[in-house]
Amino acid sequence: MDKGRIIQSLSGYFDVLAHQEVYRTRARGNFRNKKETPLVGDWVEFKADNQQEGYLLKILARKNSLIRPPMANIDRAIVVTACRQPDLSTNLLDRQLAALAQNEIQPMLYFSKADLLTAPEKEELERLVAYYQRFYPCFIFEGESSAEIESQFLGQVENSVIVVMGQTGAGKSTFLNTIAPELQLETAEVSKALSRGKHTTRKVTLRKIAGNLIADTPGFSSFDVLDVKKEELPLLYPDFVELQDGCKYRGCLHLKEPKCAVKQAYEAGEILASRYENYVQFQSDLAKRKPKYN
C-alpha cells in the first residue's frame, strides 16, 4: 500500500503521483457502495504492482472540494472571466466567488479579451474591476507578456494547488499557454451564433507549473445554485461582511430588514449594483430550493 495524490481523472482511470512517479489506477467497487467519488487533488491510499495496473484503496480526508470543476484540496483559484465572446457575466462570477469563499479557497480574478472592447466599454470594465479589486486580486489581460502574467499570479505563490476555472470559451487554456507555452493546450474560437466556446478541455489534469500544481478544467455555461443556508450566504461576501456590524439586527440577511447597512450602501452607490442584485437573486434561488432529507 502507498500514498499519493490524484493528478488526472479520465474515463474511470485515476493517475496518482507518488515518489515522483505516476501510477494509473482504478477505483474499486466499494467506492460506489459508499457513494464516494475520487477527485483530482485527492490524497489517496493505493496499491500498484506496476505503473499501469493499480487500484485505489481509500480517499484521505479533504480540506475542501468543488463540484464544478470537480477537484479537491485546492489552495487558490484563478477565475477567468471573458469581457467579450462570451459577454461578461457578473452573475456567474459572483456565484463562483461565493462557492470559493464557502470552501476557503483564495480567488484571483483574470479578465480576458479586454482588447475586444470599445473605449467606452473599457471604461465600464475598469469601474467594475476597481470595485472587485478592493476585495480580490484582479488582472485585466490586454496582450501582456507571459512574464508579466506569471509574476502577477504566481510570483508570490509556491507549492500550491491552483485551479483555473471559468465559463466555456473564457480563455482558460489560452491563459495557461501564455504562462507555460510548452503545454500547447488546444484552444478554439467562440461560436458567434451561441456566444459560447467549444469545450476544448475535457478532463481535469494537475500540471507542474512555476513551482505549483495548476489544473486546467472543463468550462461551463451555467453554475449550479449554491449549496449553502440563507444565513450563510451573506458571510461569503467580504464587501457585505465589512458593513454588517452597522446593521440594526444581528444575522441581517440584507433583504427586507430595516436599517440595513448593506442596503443603505447599495442605495448610495457604494456597493456595485450588479453585486447586490445578484445576491438578492441567489437568496431567491435558495428560498425556492427543495429541502434535503437524510
Q: Which amino acids are annotated as binding site for Zn(2+), given as ranges?
A: 247, 252, 254, 260
Grid coordinates of 19? 515518489
Q: What is the 3-state secondary structure (H, E, C) of 28-60?
A: CHHHHHCCCCCCECCEEEEEEEECCEEEEEEEC
Give the type of residue at 157: V
Q: How many CB atoms lie within 10 A of CB 162?
A: 23
User: What CA–CA distance (Å, rounded) separates 172 from 214?
Assistant: 11
User: Residues annotated in the binding site for GTP, as ranges?
Assistant: 112-115, 166-174
What percentage of the chain's residues is helix, strand, coil (to nearest 5)? 30, 30, 40
Q: Which residues are annotated binding-site positions? A: 112-115, 166-174, 247, 252, 254, 260
CB-CB contact of 86 with 169 (8 Å): yes
Of 146, 141, 166, nearest to 210 (Cα)? 146
The Cα–Cα gap between 274 and 172 comes to: 24
- In order of 101, 244, 264, the CA distances from 247 in angstroms are 22, 5, 9
Q: Report CA-CA distances (Å) from 290 to 182, 205, 235, 287.
A: 47, 34, 22, 8
